[in-house]
A and B are shown apart, each in its own frame.
Chain A
Amino acid sequence: MRSIIKSHFHKGKIGFFITGLFIILSVFMMIIGLSICLGMDGLYTNARILSNSPDCWISVFESIDGETLPLFKNILDNREDVKNYDVQPIYYLNSQGNEDRENQLRIFFNPNDKTSYTFFNSWVAMNIDDESNNYKPHLRNCVKKDGYRIYLTGNFIETSLVDVGDEFTFINNGKEYKGYVAGIYDDMSRIYYTGNFYVDGDLYQEIAKLSLEDEDITYEYNINIEFNLTSEKANTQAQYEIRNVLINALTQYNEERLAKDPTAPIIDFSYSMREDFKTGTRGFILLLGTAMTAFAIIVAIIVAIVIAFLVRSNVLDEVRNLGVWKALGYTTLQLRLSYLAIYSVINGVCILVGTCLGIGLMPTFVHIITNMARLDCSKAIGVNVGAIFIAILLVVAVVASVVYLATVRVKKITPLSAMRSNLETHSFKKNRAPLSSSKISVNAHLGVKSVVGETHRSVMVVVIILIMSLLCSFVSVVYYNLKVDQTAIINMSGIEKADYYIGFYYEDSSPYYDAISKMDGFEADVVIARASGNIDGDYAYGLVYENFDHMRTNFLYKGRYPKYANEILIEESYAKSKGWNIGDTIILNMAMDAQKSDKSLVIVGSFQNILDNARFMGYLDILDELYDLDEYWHKATHLLYFEKGKMPTFSEINYVLRQVAGGPVQLNGFESGEHRIQSSILDIVGTAADAVMSVFFSITAIVIALLLVMLVRLKLLRERRNYAIYKALGYTTAGIMSQIAVAMIILGAIGSIIGAFVGALTTSPLLSLFGGFIGAWHFDFVIPWGYTVGIVFGITLLIYCVSMLCALPVRKIAPAEHIKSL
């Protein structure tokens, strides 16, 4: 038995080698992909521990010695699920809206660089040197220079022109405090808060001194909260629950104050939880993990196809030997087990290598993933034992079953039939593609004959290349729609792509809007606001618009935009989870609405929102009982629309506004819609797209190249004598090489054309089928036909180059050596 196994091994070294590489690739990718998918909850739990982030935090817009702190402390003290909470003193520096304080309290990054300077006139200073802060964040990429230190979030660094080491200047009353960006702080719950900066103890003390005389610097507080719930699911529920508890407590508190004094200002707060980070990143991390797992399964399928081909070919080539062994007394089962034994050994070795690679490279992959999420937590996910188990089980099952099934032909081989020169095993019923009907060159035609003559090999190559090109096409469609033409993804983002988002801090901002409205090409300005409240008793957040007449982002999934104030759009996933349909009526109660008036709204449609930044959209009128609309209008964010091709630049608008103000303008935000979308989603998904695209294309190239290496080398081994005869008859080396290349190109072209075009056409339907879990129910991706054609050409060119390279040993085939007998 051992000699039979040895014989199999010596005759199929190249095939075993390539199959082994495929197995390693499959196991390695499956372990990493599954570990990512299965370890998603662990990732967020571990990333929290590694970055020392709280589960959530509240920032209250009231002085630290106000009445709300005891209120919140009381709530938190009485909750069993709160493990720990910390009151973190902060300074809130706010000169925005104060026209007399131009250039006061502002912090400028790269102040001397006119093209990339960035400033904040409203920001929060936290003390990084405060040792009593139990949630002091993990710092990284730290540098040392002279001056005050400031630390920014990774997200801010990635989405701005500011980098570690850059200078900053904080200006107050003509005095400048200079320093540098000393590093990045990782805090999952603050990652999207770009105005929250950690400063060193010295600067913090300077700000503290200033606060004594400056009423625009307020000494406030944050409360960092950590739950004792180890289950990520329970922890997430607690994050949502405590938000509702705190909102209700503050609403009650505000009601009581208003009852005593109707003119008392409402105390507001902001709340952030690491679930926001999870929501913002889970989709693309899961996408990467799923993509890797899917690719690993596809490679496993390729392993199955290749093994089936190799075993079947070997059985055909070895009919005579198998017959002899049967004559010697070996049973069919023993012979079939001999194949199984050799593949088990190879499988075992390769699974071991693949597992080691998976374990070894896991931190690198996690580092890439968490970096894309703007964190640095390479140890956030370890290799999942279950993933290893599944990967091994799957590959073992695939290899064993395929080998066993592919050797079924051994049953039919009898010693007698094997001795009769394999006549039973070779059946040529039809002379396909006869040379007599050829109109092309002889070498090309012989290539064609090789394609039609070796149908099993041809089908295998076509199927594998079809799968790979289908995947490439799928990925390229996704890439094109994320990076090149982003219309479809913008439509799913839930963000309106107005030309500009702008707001002012003036009591009366109408002169500014009047000035803008007189600009060439002006079309409209529309007020937009965030709103949060309860729908049928559940907390929900949404966006409200002055009107929906100028919408450029078509995020509708079903129905239509609201036409009246009592109509509302609901996010599709949310509507599904609640079982709401178009025509249903819901009750909305604004959370901060002291009057607690319920509004009855009719659902007229649903929208897609992969950012999960709104669960409803309606008319601004929903807010009219809370705010004085006229006053609100002046300070609210407005969407500016200009005619196509007439959108003014930032400078042009700034110039007009400065003319009205007669100097610097008190802006409450001013950015282009494109930038808002870019920083909210496209930067993150774009990075993921780059990564997925390069991984898929590289692996496709590797798989196809390995497949060709195996096939061409096997062909050279099997056809050596035929090529020697061809050479004797007068065929040149180049001619024979081109026969091999032509055969491969034909198969590659068939596979890649079918795969690429089917992939392009099925991308949107497939994504729509599975996209619901990230809130995307309808993908309307543009098919980049140029990319599709490029994939076909690329794969064909790759096949040509690899097969020509692999066919180079034809040069060494000396006809005389294979023909003569000395």
Chain B
Amino acid sequence: MTILIVDDSRIMRNIIKNTLTGHARYANCQYLEAPDGREAQRLIQSQAIDLLLLDWNMPMLNGLELVKRLRADAVQAKLPIIMITSESAKYSVIEAVKAGVNDYLIKPVSEKLLMEKLERLGL
């Protein structure tokens, strides 16, 4: 499985990645990283991704905009996306879900919640 982690904070990307690799189930996944939406979009177009873990507030192209672009693209319409962001207001979550994210996680990342949400997606 190939997982793409997108966050403008390198530390946050590492935290998410370490959280996942700490579980046997995700230890042998291939991990890709991108610091902003534009770089993420480039990566997604160039290779097959199975799961996208995506921040919202990022320079160049923000996470929400990227989701909208991906969902408009027939090839990526089904790509599982979990948004991981500090944006905690309910209207923000609704906006993201409307744009097409499969699930939503509020930072700081809780390991338990992340695992639950991955399980819910059947990943």
A and B, one complex? no
Interface residues of A, Cβ cutoff 8 Å to B: none
